[in-house]
Amino acid sequence: MSLSKEEINELVRLVSLTNDEEIDCERCLSLVAEFAERKLAGHSIPAELAAVAHHLSICAECSEEYALLLQMMNG
Amino acid sequence: MAHLDAGSLDRQTALADLRGTLLGGLRKALAHRTYGGDAFLEDVVQDALLRIMERLSQFQGRSRFTTWAMSISIRVAMSQLRRLHWKDVSLDEVTTARVSDKEASLDVQSEREAILAAMQEVIRTGLTEKQRLALLAELRGMPQDEIARHLGSNRNAIYKLTHDARKRLKQGLEALGFTGDDIGAAISG
Ligand SMILES: [Zn+2]
């Protein structure tokens, strides 16, 4: 598979962030409302929600949806 | 939220309120995107309300109910928008697109080049064909839902597939002597 420079950079970024255990998109959806409220309120993120931040750094779709959620909450 | 559970007039009111909140919120959040206008949003909210009702028992009260409902409505909306946007694009088209010479020529320092060469090697030898396809399609911007549709799978399973692929790449690079720090240091513009 031949990759452009941009694609290789993104792949290296993703590999460097990879953890053995990661939550999937369903799990992210079930936790993201609480995560977003804490973020907007400037509250600390408990360890169990750190997996959400990590998932958002990897998953383009969940990250896009999270950005929209923040917009919607700021309505 | 308790009102949504009850089969009463309250339930109708609560549902109508929620519908209005989601419609208004989505309209604003999606204002800069192309979509099928209010008819599209009405459909999305209808679907979202069904999902919300199905999952009511999963709501644990750890956020406001409205925020939770918004997150579900956004997933519904974006899944449909991505589907519309990608419906005529095949997996083949995305994964066999040639990289132009200009993009492919890596003008990089040697350590970085070594990691990239190692990465290409692990991609070639350490991944299954399905993992390669999904990873490549994802790097080229195809949404996981769409990759899943082509592979007869679902978004969660595609996440797991590419997660496994990333783990293999990381292990493969480590086996070749590159540490996590080396990999991180290889990221550049
Ligand atoms: Zn995700």
pLDDT single digits (tens) B125-163? 999 999 999 999 999 999 999 999 999 999 999 999 999
Distance from CA of A53 to the nearest CA of B (A): 15
Pick from B103, B138, B189: CB nearest A4: B103
pLDDT of A22 reads 97
- Are A29 and B173 a contacting pair at CB < 8 A? no
The interface pTM score, or ipTM, of the predicted complex is 0.94
Higher local confidence (pLDDT), B4 or A61: A61
User: What DSSP string describes A27-73?
Assistant: HHHHHHHHHHHHHHHT----HHHHHHHHHHHH-HHHHHHHHHHHHHH
Q: Give me the pLDDT at residue B6, please.
A: 61
Of A3, A33, A61, the CB nearest to B78: A61
Contact A38, A45 (CB under 8 A): yes
Distance B86 CA to ligand 1 centre (A): 18
- Rounded mean pLDDT of chain B? 88
Tell whether A61 lies on the interface with B, counting CB pairs under 8 A.
yes
Q: Is A11's CB within 8 Å of B156's CB?
A: no
Closest alpha carbon to B23 in B43, B9, B4 = B43
Closest to B131 measured CA to CA, from B166, B155, B97, B98: B166
pLDDT in tens, A32-48: 999 999 999 999 999 88
Q: Answer yes or no: do A25 and B156 touch at CB < 8 A.
A: yes
At residue A71, does pLDDT exceed 70?
yes
Whether chain B has a CB inside 8 Å of the CB on A25: the answer is: yes
- Tell me the nearest-neighbour CA distance from A63 into chain B, angstroms: 11
Mean pLDDT for the stretch of residues B101-124:
72
Type of residue found at B180 = G
B166-188: average pLDDT: 85
Number of Cβ within a 10 Å radius of residue A23:
20
- Does A66 score more than 60 pLDDT? yes
Lowest average pLDDT, out of B92-101, B111-120, B169-178, goes to B92-101
- Structure confidence at residue B183 (pLDDT): 81
Quick one: average pLDDT of A47-61?
A: 96
Contact call for A11 and B135, based on CB within 8 A: yes
Q: Is B139 within 8 Å of A64 when comparing Cβ atoms? A: no
Chain A residue numbers touching B161 (CB-CB < 8 A): none
Q: Domains (ranges, CATH) in chain B?
A: 1-97 (1.10.1740), 119-189 (1.10.10.10)
Calculate what percentage of chain B has a pLDDT beyond 90: 66
| Residue B102 scores a pLDDT above 50 | no
Q: Looking at residue B64, what is its pLDDT?
A: 96
Q: How far is B159 from chain A (nearest CA, A)?
A: 6
**The model's pTM:** 0.90
Residue B99, helix vs strand vs coil: coil
Looking up tokens 């950005």 gives A67
